[in-house]
């Protein structure tokens, strides 16, 4: 399982914002935006900054999805 930020990018489109706008609104570094773009982990403090800036809930900007590059095996 991996974290997907596709909801964040859709929300930005819906609000007619660009990544640079998000960076300014939430006071994020360019490296944090790069991490989000690559789907890498960020701290909960960063997620809170984004949610505060966009007036949304964390479930509005991210979700857990199956990792397309890995097969999940369930041990019994």
pLDDT band at 67 (very low <50, low <70, confident <90, very high): confident
74 CB burial (10 A radius; 0-12, 13-18, 19+)? exposed
Kindly state the average pLDDT of the residues 34-58: 96
Domains annotated for the chain, with CATH where assigned, are: 2-65 (1.10.260.40)
Question: Is 69 strand, coil or helix?
Answer: coil
pLDDT band at 60 (very low <50, low <70, confident <90, very high): very high
pLDDT band at 8 (very low <50, low <70, confident <90, very high): very high
17: left (phi over 0), alpha (psi -120 to 50) or beta: beta
Question: Is 1 strand, coil or helix?
Answer: coil
Kindly state the average pLDDT of the residues 69-76: 64
């Amino acid at each position: 399982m991996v974290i997907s930020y596709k909801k964040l990018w859709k929300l930005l489109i819906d609000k007619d914002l660009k990544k640079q706008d998000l960076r300014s609104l939430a006071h994020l570094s360019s490296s944090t935006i790069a991490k989000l773009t690559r789907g890498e982990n960020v701290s909960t403090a960063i997620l809170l900054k984004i949610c505060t800036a966009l007036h949304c809930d964390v479930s509005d900007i991210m979700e857990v999805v199956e990792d397309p590059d890995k097969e999940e095996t369930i041990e019994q």
